[in-house]
A and B are shown apart, each in its own frame.
Chain A
Amino acid sequence: QSALTQPASVSGSPGQSITISCTGASSDVGGFNYGSWYQQHPGKAPTLMIFDVNNRPSGVPDRFSGSKSGNTAFLTISGLQAEDEADYYCSSYSSTSTLVFGAGTKVTVL
């Protein structure tokens, strides 16, 4: 089970929008709407930001949104803020009844 492919880094200025991609295969991202996104600040445990492709848990700002096209999932952060600087990981359920994470993307707020 290979890790999902994410860009190593993405950056943007405050107020801008950025999008992080997460590419898998038809056996995971493309085959199921069970993808999630996590935010992780240094030294902290991850926090769930999006589940089932485009659903936000309560308490997550609506600046964060998720989508999917084919075998690729996307996380968009609109109105980028300084506190959004963190690592972001995607995950997806897989056809082998397992879960796979992405390699992670470091978001820098310029």
Chain B
Amino acid sequence: QVTLRESGPALVKPTQTLTLTCTFSGFSLSTSGMCVSWIRQPPGKALEWLAFIDWDDDKYYSTSLKTRLTISKDTSRNQVVLTMTKMDPVDTATYYCARVLRRRGSGYYWAFDIWGQGTMVTVSS
């Protein structure tokens, strides 16, 4: 069974750096075609894609947020970490990690088949 779980602080102050961890089970990020992504959703608003890391350690970032984001993986611990610098109240959101749907054979689809439950992060002084 594939599961993902996000963890991190529920409250951060403006200008601080947010560090979120996605701990997963049921698959390995060392397997060809496996990837994990981060997506966020402000309260009452739409989903927003943030970042993506693949088994080969290739990384992709949202154009508008790339200067603030860093994604990394620890394959041995089955974890993906997202850091976001210079947090602002507009970054208040539920942050999700999700597994990317893998193609049979090799490669992947730009789609997320398994999601974590999400973790709510509030940015406030």
A residues at B contact (CB < 8 Å): 1, 3, 34, 36, 38, 40, 45-48, 51-52, 57, 89, 91-93, 96-104
B113, A91: Cβ atoms closer than 8 Å: no
How many interface contacts (CB-CB < 8 Å) are there between A and B? 66
The CA-CA distance from A59 to B99 in the complex, in Å, is 17
Asked if B111 lies at the interface with its beta carbon under 8 angstroms from chain A, I say yes
Using Cβ atoms and an 8 Å threshold, which residues of chain B touch A45? 96, 115-118
Interface membership of chain B positions 19-61, coded 1 if the CB is closer than 8 angstroms to chain A and 0 otherwise: 0000000000000000001010000001111001000000011
The CA-CA distance from A101 to B111 in the complex, in Å, is 11
Which one, B46, B61, B101, B116, contacts A102 given CB within 8 A? B46
Can you report 12 A-B residue pairs in the complex whose CB atoms are below 8 A from each other? A1-B64, A36-B111, A36-B112, A45-B96, A48-B112, A51-B109, A89-B46, A89-B47, A91-B111, A93-B110, A98-B63, A101-B49
Prevailing SS type, chain A contact patch: strand
Using Cβ atoms and an 8 Å threshold, which residues of chain B touch A36? 109-112
Minimal beta-carbon separation of B16 from chain A (angstroms) = 26
The CA-CA distance from A104 to B37 in the complex, in Å, is 19
Q: Residue of B at shortest CB range from A4?
A: B46
Using Cβ atoms and an 8 Å threshold, which residues of chain A touch B37? 99
Q: Residue of A at shortest CB range from B62?
A: A98
Interface residues of B in 104-125 (CB under 8 A from A): 109-113, 115-118
Which one, B46, B64, B115, B117, contacts A103 given CB within 8 A? B46
The CA-CA distance from A91 to B113 in the complex, in Å, is 13
B118, A34: Cβ atoms closer than 8 Å: no
Minimal beta-carbon separation of B112 from chain A (angstroms) = 6
Contacts A57-B101, A104-B47; is A98 near B60 (CB within 8 Å)? yes
Using Cβ atoms and an 8 Å threshold, which residues of chain A touch B48? 101
